[in-house]
Amino acid sequence: MLHFAVAGSPLSTPLPGGTLEGLQRAKELGIDAMEIEWVQQVPSGTERMKEIREMARELDMALTVHAPYYVNLNSPEKPKLEASKQRILKALSQAELAGAVSVCVHAAFNLKLPPAKVYDNVRRSVAEIMEQKEKLFPHVNLALETMGKPSQFGTLEEALKISKEFGIYPCVDFAHIHARFQGKFNSTEEWNALLDQYEAALGRGSLKTMHIHYSGIAYGSSGERKHLPFSESDAQWKDFLSVLKKRKVGGVLVCESPIQEEDTLLLKKMYDQL
């Protein structure tokens, strides 16, 4: 089963908003999943997490989390590297309490280092984070995201290689891949090739529990510029949905459109009609 998630509380959530209110509003709209956007910081405390878990269970909503943006597992500065690992660990452990299934992370900037060196650096930090899995986040997946700029760590190859190594699965952001390669990966044939690559790396059945990001996107020579509503973009989103449906891809697809619930529902309704 594929859940269509709104990225954060819907824009139409009554003020003052918040995750609990956002979950209720999403459900009212007919949306059955949400990615909680802890992109500035991860909230502390356990009580709120329990409330989110209970609300999501009551409403039968699937949850994922977006970890903070201020992360660079390739930082040469020790304090920055440590802070990055701690932010990821906090997102994972709070996600465990909140009942989320997967946490996506923008792992690193390449800082003009050779890709193999960056991979090594990211790998070392991921190994340290994964040492805490049993204790802090036994039911949560650490999803390294495919990134939209060549200056960032996170081609599909890199994300799959590291995921395979640690028994996790990546967050495949199809808009980022499209932007990173300046317009490629926007057709049935190309998406099928990416999914084949994914399945070859992570095994049979791996397409059943994916963490996907998708939206329209603006891009230039250095890749991603900004996310766009589908109607203002070149995204062949109907074809994309057909591929997902045909391949019986499951898990959570987070719609990262700036018009949030509007585009999430556009995707969900079209998918249901196919």
Q: Which residue is nearest to Zn ion (CB)?
A: 145
Residue 245 near residue 274, CB atoms below 8 Å: yes
**In the bound complex, what is the minimum distance in angstroms from residue 260's beta carbon to Zn ion?**
15
Least distance CB 189 / Zn ion (angstroms): 26
Question: Around 84, how many Cα atoms within 13 Å sit in the side-chain half-sphere?
Answer: 24
In the bound complex, what is the minimum distance in angstroms from residue 15's beta carbon to Zn ion? 26
Tell me whether residue 143 is exposed, middle or buried, using C-beta atoms within 10 angstroms of its C-beta: 0 to 12, 13 to 18, 19 or more: buried
Residue keyed to tokens 């329990």 = 50
Instruction: Quickly list H helices, 30-173.
Output: 47-59, 78-98, 115-130, 133-136, 156-166
Which residue stretch of 88-96, 139-147, 158-166, 244-252 sits at the interface with Zn ion (rule: CB under 5 A)? 139-147
| Residue placing its CB nearer to Zn ion in the complex, 24 or 72 | 72
Q: Which stretch binds Zn ion (CB under 5 A): 16-24, 145-153, 220-228, 265-273?
A: 145-153
Cα gap 68→83, rounded to integer Å:
11
Q: What is the dihedral of CA 193, 196, 198, 203, to 10 degrees?
A: -170
* Least Cβ distance, residue 145 to Zn ion (angstroms): 5
Q: What is the smallest separation between the CB atom of 204 and Zn ion, expressed in angstroms?
A: 27
The answer to whether the beta carbons of residues 96 and 112 sit under 8 Å apart is no
Nearer to Zn ion, 55 or 63 (CB): 63
Q: How far is the CB of 174 from Zn ion (least distance, A)?
A: 12
Nearest by Cα to 20 from 42, 41, 51: 51
Bridge partners of residue 214, in order along the sequence: 255
Q: Which is nearer to Zn ion, 94 or 146 (CB)?
A: 146
Q: In this chain, which stretch among 51-59, 138-146, 192-200, 224-232 interacts with Zn ion, using CB under 5 A? A: 138-146
Q: Which is nearer to Zn ion, 55 or 142 (CB)?
A: 142
Count the residues of the shown chain that bind Zn ion, applying the rule CB under 5 A: 1
Binding site for Zn ion (CB under 5 A): 145
